[in-house]
Amino acid sequence: MIVRNLEEARQSERLVKSENGNWDSTRLLLASDNGGFSFHITRIYEGTETHIHYKHHYEAVFCMEGEGEVETLADGKIWPIKPGDIYILDQHDEHLLRASKTMHLACVFTPPITGTEVHREDGSYAPADD
């Protein structure tokens, strides 16, 4: 069994910050934990817009706090996101995530990430085998 504390993890290398300051993500469960998925608590900061395109991963995102919207770039459709909402990137959807109030999100990735990933120029994480 693995037991971890969010605040303790935020004081360790498990807290990863974006270079542009749009978000930070505390990676609580990683590929090295052998759980078959990774689990993160991510904060998207108020007033930011982040381009994301997970070409090699699937992600489910549950909003616990804050408000914003997600826009799929293929069709320009925009969904408001508020506490209690979940969105699932089941088609490797290229999207923009905008926070009108700082969002606290619970995120599940498969395949699991290693923990040091940050978005590449195209909005993706590297494939698991890179």
pLDDT surpassing 70 at residue 112 = yes
- Is 27 contained in some domain? yes
- Is 5 contained in some domain? no
- Is 62 contained in some domain? yes
Which CATH number covers residue 23? 2.60.120.10
Q: Per-residue pLDDT tens for 59-110?
A: 999 999 999 999 999 999 999 999 999 999 999 999 999 999 999 999 999 9
In this prediction, residue 56 carries a pLDDT of 86
- 128: closest CA among 16, 39, 32? 32
- Is 43 contained in some domain? yes
Our count of domains for the chain comes to 1
In this prediction, residue 91 carries a pLDDT of 93
- Is 83 contained in some domain? yes
Range of the domain at 100: 14-110
Could you tell me the CA-to-CA distances from 123 to 34, 49, 93, 94 in Å, in that order? Answer: 26, 12, 11, 8
Amino acid at 62: F
- Is 116 contained in some domain? no
Confidence of residue 30 (pLDDT cuts 50, 70, 90): very high
In this prediction, residue 49 carries a pLDDT of 98
Whole-angstrom distance, CA of residue 128 vs CA of residue 36: 12
In this prediction, residue 22 carries a pLDDT of 96
**In this structure, are residues 21 and 50 in contact, taking their beta carbons and an 8 Å threshold?**
no
Q: Per-residue pLDDT tens for 2-21?
A: 999 999 999 999 999 998 99
Residue ranges in the chain assigned as alpha helix (H)? 6-10
- Is 36 contained in some domain? yes
Q: Is the pTM of this model over 0.85?
A: yes
- Is 55 contained in some domain? yes
